[in-house]
Structure 1
């Protein structure tokens, strides 16, 4: 699968499994500085970020938002 603009250029040819195990800075737009900040919240990998309950809650609200109109 091609991940294009979802991940940093260095990670474009990696598998989903490798990306999920990577630090959050593997995602396009995040840096090693973000890794350090997220680590303080217990988030060390892309998978941790995606499974973080607050990220999931925010995603659910965004998905439901159009239904509230």
Structure 2
């Protein structure tokens, strides 16, 4: 199990074994961010193709930067804070 910081604005960490396919769990953070979204556990190659078609998302970094995902996260955080 390898834990890495979750963004610089959050004081948390993430267990890479729980969020990445086994082939990617020992890679560096830059390699993971450049990986196809199918490197994420539970995301298939077909899911990756559909994300690319719908939103232009090719990599894990692209998905992290997707404005719609950020908006949804912000809305969920606002709801949790009430």
Give distance in 1, aligned partners of 2:72 and 2:80. Answer: 14
Q: After the TM superposition, which residues 7-22 of structure 1 pair with which residues of structure 2 at under 5 Å, given as runs?
A: 7-22=20-35
- Runs of 4 or more, structure 1, over 3 Å off, are none
**Residue segments in structure 2 that go unaligned for 5+ positions in a row:** 3-15
Residue 46 of structure 1: how far off its partner (Å): 0.4
CA displacement, residues 4-46 of structure 1 (integer Å, 9 cap, x when unaligned): 1111111010011101000000001101001110111200000
**Which structure: greater strand fraction?**
2
Q: Does 1:35 align with 2:48?
A: yes
Which TM-score applies when normalising by structure 1?
Answer: 0.90
Task: Work out the number of aligned pairs and report it.
Answer: 68
Question: Which of structures 1 and 2 has the larger relative contact order (alpha carbons within 8 angstroms, sep 6+)?
Answer: 1
Query: Aligned Cα RMSD in Å?
Result: 1.3
Name whichever structure is richer in helix by fraction.
1
- SS of 1:30's equivalent in the other structure is coil
- Normalising by the residue count of structure 2, what TM-score does the alignment of the two structures yield? 0.77
Structure 1, gaps ≥5 residues long: none
Cα distance between partner residues in 2 of 1:15 and 1:25: 16
